[in-house]
Amino acid sequence: MAPRASSTDFSRLFMKSPKELYSEKFYDAMDIITQDLNDYNNKCNEIYVNDHKDKMILICEKYLRFLDKSASWSGVSSFYDVSLLLNYWIYDKLTNIYGDKNTNDINIGFGVLQGKWSTFDSSRLEQSYYEKCKPDHTKVIHEDWKDRKKLYDYYVNYDTLFTMVQGYPLKCEEYVEYFKEMVSVYKNFEGKCSPEKHNCPNFFYEFKNKNPVDKLKNLSCYPQIDQKITADTEARPSMRGDSLHSTVPKVGVPPHGVDGALPYSAGSSRDTQSTPQSSDIQTKVTNSVLGAAPVLFTGTMLYRFPGFVHSGEKGQIE
């Protein structure tokens, strides 16, 4: 069941999300059911789609709420591309309704939202944030869109993620499976996109210094990651004969700080359970992040590090 809230300013919805990582908090905030979604019902009831109009209306209402209530959210003026996060959210919703092979209905869905963007409030069309909220299917419709989304989410989450896992070994262990998956995703793009190709995502090259293969050696939980990759490689040798394990840094490299940090910037479905260290981690990680990057965590981006609960457990925002 979707969480409900009475407050609809997007910056507050974002801060109240219990998710840990930035992209997860964004997708979660987009999905929250708020009382005034009904304010956009008349506009969204006007849409024309081939099928599943009721589901498209809800997507439309959530999108218009973001369009209407995100101007004060500092995320729209950050250095990362919030437009890409937004379009991954839209595309994920449309593929859940129509399937990712049904390009006709997906394109119609994007067209419906583009129409709402262009007619919602003409006085905002010249505002910089408004352009970043424009639905654009060309940014996300690719055969490998799911992996592209995972990789971009990783880059967006980079600072928060590595601050958490470097400072807390138990938290690092919680992310072992995630890091293992990201090694696989990254190596897939590295194989396809080296040398540079026009059909590869620009962010692969832009954030190459943040690739998970190189960064794993900094983590206290690297031995566990290495063991899992080795075990998977032995169980399922790669088609080309070279293993993921062969590309991962070896155990024994001393840990050091995160370099090349992404300026604090499509939502993993991963949820984490409560641990005895949760409240301590929330306070200490927030303090360490603020100390490391004070400029990047200003205004509404000073969100709390949440407890580790499933999204379905969220209560109302007072």
Least confident of 118-127, 204-213, 221-230, 277-286: 277-286
Q: Domain span at residue 55?
A: 4-139
Q: Kindly provide the residue ranges of all beta strands, DSSP E only, lying in the chain, ordered along the sequence.
A: 4-5, 33-34
Given a contact cutoff of 8 angstroms between Cβ atoms, the answer to whether 51 and 105 are in contact is yes
* pLDDT at residue 115, rounded to an integer: 96
Q: How many domains does the chain have?
A: 2
Name the one residue in this structure whose structure tokens are 């641990």: 275
Q: How many helices (H) and strands (E) does the chain have?
A: 14, 2
Burial of 173 (0-12, 13-18, 19+ CB in 10 A): middle
Contact 37, 61 (CB under 8 A): yes
* Residue 273 maps to a domain: no
* In-domain check, residue 222: yes
C-beta separation of 147 from 204 below 8 A: no
**Pair 122, 215 in one domain:** no
Q: At which of 113, 139, 165 does a domain end?
A: 139
Same domain membership, residue 185 and residue 150: yes
Q: How far is CA 122 from the centre of its chain?
A: 29
- Give 265's pLDDT tier (boundaries 50, 70, 90): very low
Yes or no: say if 318 and 29 are a contact pair by the CB < 8 Å rule.
no
For the record, the structure tokens of 280 come out as 């301590």
What would the pLDDT profile of 110-152 be if each residue is shown by its tens digit? 999 999 999 998 888 878 788 889 999 999 999 999 999 999 9
**54 found inside a domain:** yes
Q: How far apart are CA 313 and CA 318, in angstroms?
A: 15
Examine the domain organization and report whether 113 and 209 are in the same domain: no
The letter for the amino acid at 3 is P
Radius of gyration of the chain (CA): 20
Q: Is the pLDDT of residue 275 over 50?
A: no
187 has pLDDT over 90: yes
pLDDT confidence bin for 4, thresholds 50/70/90: low
> 34 in helix, strand or coil?
strand
Residue 295 belongs to some domain of the structure: no
- pTM score, two decimals? 0.72
Of the two residues 220 and 187, the one the predictor is more confident about is 187
**How many other CB atoms sit within 10 Å of the CB of residue 15?**
18
Distance CA 307, CA 17 (A): 10
* 280-306: b (≥16 Cβ within 10 Å) or e: ebbeebbeebeeebeebbeeebebebb
**How many Å apart are CA 76 and CA 39, to the nearest integer?**
23
277 within domain boundaries = no
Nearest alpha carbon to residue 215 among 259, 173, 178: 259
The answer to whether residues 214 and 249 touch, using CB atoms and an 8 Å cutoff, is yes
Residues 149 and 128 in one domain: no
Considering the domain architecture, whether residues 106 and 157 belong to the same structural domain is answered as no
314 in any annotated domain: no
Mean pLDDT computed over 235-242: 53
The reply to whether 50 and 98 lie within a common domain is: yes
**What is the pLDDT, as a whole number, of residue 190?**
93
Q: How far apart are CA 106 and CA 112, in angstroms?
A: 10
Rounded Cα distance, 148 and 152, in Å? 6
Residue finishing a domain among 139, 162, 187: 139
**Residue 239 scores a pLDDT above 50:** no
Q: What is the pLDDT of residue 220?
A: 83
Are 121 and 198 found together in one domain? no
Section 163-184 average pLDDT: 89
In angstroms, how far is the first alpha carbon of the chain from the final one? 19
- Tell me, yes or no, whether 48 and 156 share the same domain: no
